Structure 1
Amino acid sequence: MKRVGEWLEIDIPVDWANNTVFHILTQKLGASKALIQKWNNTSAIMKNNHKADVNHQLIQDDQLCLHIFKEEDYGVIPEDHAIEVLYEDDHLLIVNKPAGIDTHPNEANQRGTLANGVAYYYQTCGLKIRVRHIHRLDRDTSGAVVFAKNDLAHSLLDQELQTKKIKRTYISIVNGRLSPPNGVIKKPIGKDRHHPTRRRVSPKGQSAVTHYHTEHYDQKKNLSVVSLQLETGRTHQIRVHLSSIGHPIIGDTLYGGDKKLLQRQALHAAMISLTHPISHKSIKVEATFPQDILSLLPK
């Protein structure tokens, strides 16, 4: 598979031959039926330089082309602010989100978000494509965020996220010493009816599972550096779970954290690993720590 202008070209190998376009797109590429229908309706599928129907048969050395690199509206207002790129190719962009900004707008024409900065970055690179975030981080959480650069990558990465194939490792600094130092927190999370944005552990909430591992304990400061991985992606999951076991994240006043050392929650999405949706290569990216958290980590 290779990019040629606005098209993704696929030369049909012998083991893909004698199947329909629809079979190749669903079973070999993993595209969703909804996406294929969209391509079919917009003449975005070509076979040997001619418009193809999804029921067309393909033989060895046929050329199947998908119009996935076309110009699109950004979907957000481009805004000039620094973007730290951790990884980029024709299909993916992974950036290091700073603390203190939203991942994406929550209302029309909102500015100041990571997505606004990504749109501006695309603009400066001569790209006119939609800003598609695959997941999000809380406003005051820093770290790696993945964006898809076309609708095929978006569809496939969404599937990876749903099937838990995208692995994210967070680093947090919490009060106290965890006992046991490593473990799994399995507590359902629901909305707190007494607070508009807070979540809480609730028997009637959605299932939530967090794995944690103590990386370091500072006896003098009574602080632990903890790495965490999520099996589920509930709102505020790490923050709620750590608070529920008596070890709130420092700076996280919403869930009982102390602001003496930090003015925001000490939570950073430090690493992300995934399988590239097109090449199927393993990608592992680390996001550098912001200075406020770095100053609290052991030297």
Structure 2
Amino acid sequence: MQIEILYEDNHLLIVEKPVNMPSQADKSQDPDVLTTLKQMIKVRDNKPGNVYLGLVHRLDRPVGGAMVFAKTSKAASRLSDSLRKRAIKRIYLAVVMGHVAPEGELKHHLYKNRQKNHVYAVDPQHPQAKPAHLSYQRLQQTKATSLVKVELHTGRSHQIRVQFQASGHPLYGDQKYGDHRIQKGTQIALWSHRLAIPHPTQDKVIEVVSYPPAKGVWRDFGY
């Protein structure tokens, strides 16, 4: 399987992650993005040994769009530091159920049950609660849904999905966190749309944009 490359240099590799493909190998043993990219680079560049590729962040399996990898250990360290300092700008597109305000912020405390791989919005006093913060702008709406542009300010697991669900607006097609409005078998409408990344070795910002496919609910909004 070929994965589309959005940007590449000696230190960075930014690709368009396919939907329903794990970011890295998991117990499903299905083909994953990290392993597939290593194989692609090995063949393309005729590399005799192992290919180094560092996983900087993850996208949930059903989510597609822009995703960055580090091609050197120096880049991996610096990109991880940029993530911690919230210097990497991450913009998502999402279709949520119902009508939301033209713009807003969502602040919750989230707890991840690792055994169940499920995240919950909990009381701030919960011993394992971690603060989660995002802001959004409504771009369009239909009778039943809203298209929103989301900026993450923290990087919690399943954050966008859980925060909108906790606010009464679960993501369209979210089989894990949706409610009675979600039809079984529909694809989640969440897409990693834009990344702005301080380059790990140069004084510049690398920006890439990825658009959701023109199918499913995305067509309701002109994609």
TM-score by length of 2: 0.89
After superposition, the Cα gap between the structure-2 partners of 1:223 and 1:298, relative to the gap in structure 1 and judged at 3 Å, is farther
Matches within 5 A, 1:1-299: 81-106=1-26, 110-126=29-45, 127=47, 128-178=50-100, 180-191=101-112, 196-203=116-123, 204=126, 205-219=129-143, 222-257=144-179, 258-260=181-183, 263-292=186-215, 294-298=218-222
* Residues 111 and 247 of structure 1, relative CA distance in 2, 3 Å threshold: closer
- The count of residues paired between Structure 1 and Structure 2 equals 214
* CA deviation vs aligned residue, 1:211-246 (integer Å, no higher than 9, x gap): 111111113xx2100011111111110000001111
Identity of aligned residues (%): 32
Distance in 1, matches of 2:7 and 2:92, equals 18
Which protein is bigger by CA-based radius of gyration? 1
Q: Distance in 1 between matches of 2:74 and 2:154?
A: 24
Show structure 1 runs of 4+ deviating over 4 A: none
Q: Secondary structure at the match of 1:240?
A: helix
Distance (Å, rounded) in 2 between the aligned partners of 1:261 and 1:224: 19
CA contact (8 A) 2:189 2:218 kept: no
Shift of 1:294: 3.5
Q: What stretches of structure 1 of length at least 5 have no aligned partner? A: 1-80
Distance in structure 2 (CA, Å) of the matches to 1:294 and 1:224: 11
| 1:259 Cα deviation after fit | 4.0
Answer whether contact 1:169 1:228 (CA < 8 A) is retained: yes
What's the CA shift string for 1:252-284, capped at 9, x where partnerless? 022125444972211000110011111121111
Residue 147 of structure 1, CA deviation: 0.5
Give the Cα separation in 1 of the matches to 2:37 and 2:80. Answer: 19
The CA distance in 1 between the partners of 2:102 and 2:184, in whole Å, is 22
Root-mean-square deviation (CA, aligned residues, Å) is 2.0
Identify unmatched segments of 5+ residues in structure 2: none
* Deviation sequence 1:37-69 (CA, Å, 0-9, x none): xxxxxxxxxxxxxxxxxxxxxxxxxxxxxxxxx
